[in-house]
């Protein structure tokens, strides 16, 4: 069952992640489309302690949250040296693909060297027009 996605729910989810995973930088932005589905943009995720399963746990929770709300997730993988990134863009792309992300198709006018990755929502049952309209 898809439930309605609100900015308050996104803020609450962000706060829960920050409390559960102390020291992690985690920022989301939500867009409610009239014709398009809801989109959650992962603006920033910085996990200082790599190889501890923290990033994996956060991404699993984010994917489950997005699925419950029928929302697409978008992100742009950082590269070592960008902001506080500590690993290569290629490694991050492989990491995000494990959660079902794929590189977004770009239109010719949108050519960029930095890939945008997208994960479409996974529904536990086929969505109906009613559930999509109330999401």
Contacts of 103 (CB under 8 A, 6+ apart): 93, 115, 116, 117, 118
Q: For residue 104, what is the domain's CATH number?
A: 3.40.630.30
- Note the pLDDT tens digit of each residue in 6-53: 889 999 999 999 999 998 999 999 887 655 678 999 988 888 777 889
2 is a domain residue = no
pLDDT surpassing 60 at residue 112: no
Task: Quickly tell me which residue has 């709300």 as its tokens.
Answer: 69
Strands (E), 68-113: 72-75, 102-103
Count of structural domains within the chain: 1
pTM of the model: 0.80
Tell me the pLDDT tens digit for each residue of 62-74: 999 999 999 999 9
Tell me the residue range of the domain where 43 lies: 7-134
Confidence of residue 110 (pLDDT cuts 50, 70, 90): low
| Inside any domain, residue 1 | no
Q: Sign of the CA dihedral 58, 31, 4, 134? A: negative
Question: What integer is the mean pLDDT of 106-112?
Answer: 58
Residue matched to tokens 């029928």: 70
């Amino acid at each position: 069952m898809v439930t309605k996605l609100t900015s308050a729910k996104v803020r609450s989810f962000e706060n829960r992640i920050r409390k559960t995973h102390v020291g992690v930088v985690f920022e989301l932005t939500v867009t409610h489309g009239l014709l398009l589905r809801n989109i959650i943009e992962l603006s920033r995720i910085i996990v200082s302690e790599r190889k501890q399963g923290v990033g994996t746990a956060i991404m699993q929770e984010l994917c489950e949250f997005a699925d419950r709300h029928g929302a697409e997730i978008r992100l742009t993988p950082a590269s070592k040296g960008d902001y506080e990134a500590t690993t290569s863009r290629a490694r991050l792309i492989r990491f995000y693909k494990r959660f079902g992300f794929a590189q977004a198709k770009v239109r010719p006018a949108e050519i960029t060297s930095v890939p945008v990755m997208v994960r479409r929502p996974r529904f536990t049952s086929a969505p109906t027009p009613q559930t999509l309209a109330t999401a």
